[in-house]
Amino acid sequence: MHVNEQEREQAILDAAAELLLRLGYNKLTMGDVADAVALHRGLVYLIFSSKDELVEAVMVRELDAYTEAWRDHVAADPRGGSAAGVYRAMVHALEELPLAAAIVARDAEVFGKYLRRPGNLFERDTECLGTLGFLRAMREAGAVRRNVDVRAVAFILDALTPALLRRLAAGRGAATGGPSVAELLEALADLLDRGLTPPRGADLRAAKEVLMSELDHAREGLSSAPSRHRR
């Protein structure tokens, strides 16, 4: 019987992604993945020679999906070239992709000891996929004031975003007596617009083009980045 190797590899990646989120890197084993796809563990090792190689392949695939989703949300938003529009698009993309949210947050519960591995994927050039990267791109495009400390703003947003994503996942909102997730996101977006936009305004079209170019470049970088996975 003919076996489609690409489909088998994708099935392994699908299973590994689900298990990584559920169990975390520290508890995940190649045996778990093999059992999930009903394959002998030795066959999984023929495709991915180690757990790190498999986890990194999962991460690269997830980051590619994330950049595509983020780009689509930016493109669909008339104000996608503003800092608020870009952040809103990022949150919506991360809402759709919980593993990407864990990657961007460098979630220790998910990635555990992998975060301390020399040469791990987080040490490579993925900064443009995070909050600091998009703020720098927006500043270069003139959509963020030059005198803004983007590192400090990125730190604040990175502290707030996980809580916002948890609220989104839980579906809590006005029904519990508090503001809805949409209201929270729009309030934060309004603060970003008021605090970051240059006094004379911003060229949203030019800024959107810069950001989308950065995301395209990031996708190209992910596809060509050195990896432990070799076929």
Does residue 8 belong to any structural domain of this protein?
no
Rounded to 5 degrees, φ, ψ at 37 are -110, 10
Q: What is the pLDDT of residue 131?
A: 82
Domain range holding 203? 52-224
Looking at the predicted structure, is the pLDDT value of residue 106 above 90?
A: no
In CATH, what number is assigned to the domain containing residue 181? 1.10.357
Any idea what DSSP says for residue 24?
A: -
Does residue 158 belong to any structural domain of this protein?
yes
Rounded to 5 degrees, φ, ψ at 50 are -155, 165
Does residue 38 belong to any structural domain of this protein?
no
Cα angle, residue 21 at apex, residues 8 and 212 outer, rounded to 5°: 80
- pLDDT, the chain, mean: 85
Looking at the predicted structure, is the pLDDT value of residue 99 above 90?
A: yes
Q: What is the pLDDT of residue 128?
A: 55
Does residue 98 belong to any structural domain of this protein?
yes
Q: What is the pLDDT of residue 141?
A: 85
Q: Which of 137, 134, 181, 129 is nearest to 160 (CA)?
A: 181
Does residue 16 belong to any structural domain of this protein?
no
- Total domains in the chain come to 1
Least confident of 40-49, 101-110, 163-172, 187-196: 163-172
Looking at the predicted structure, is the pLDDT value of residue 229 above 60?
A: no
Burial of 218 (0-12, 13-18, 19+ CB in 10 A): buried
Does residue 62 belong to any structural domain of this protein?
yes
Q: Which of 155, 149, 136, 125 is nearest to 220 (CA)?
A: 125
Does residue 12 belong to any structural domain of this protein?
no
- d(C-alpha 179, C-alpha 44), whole Å: 47
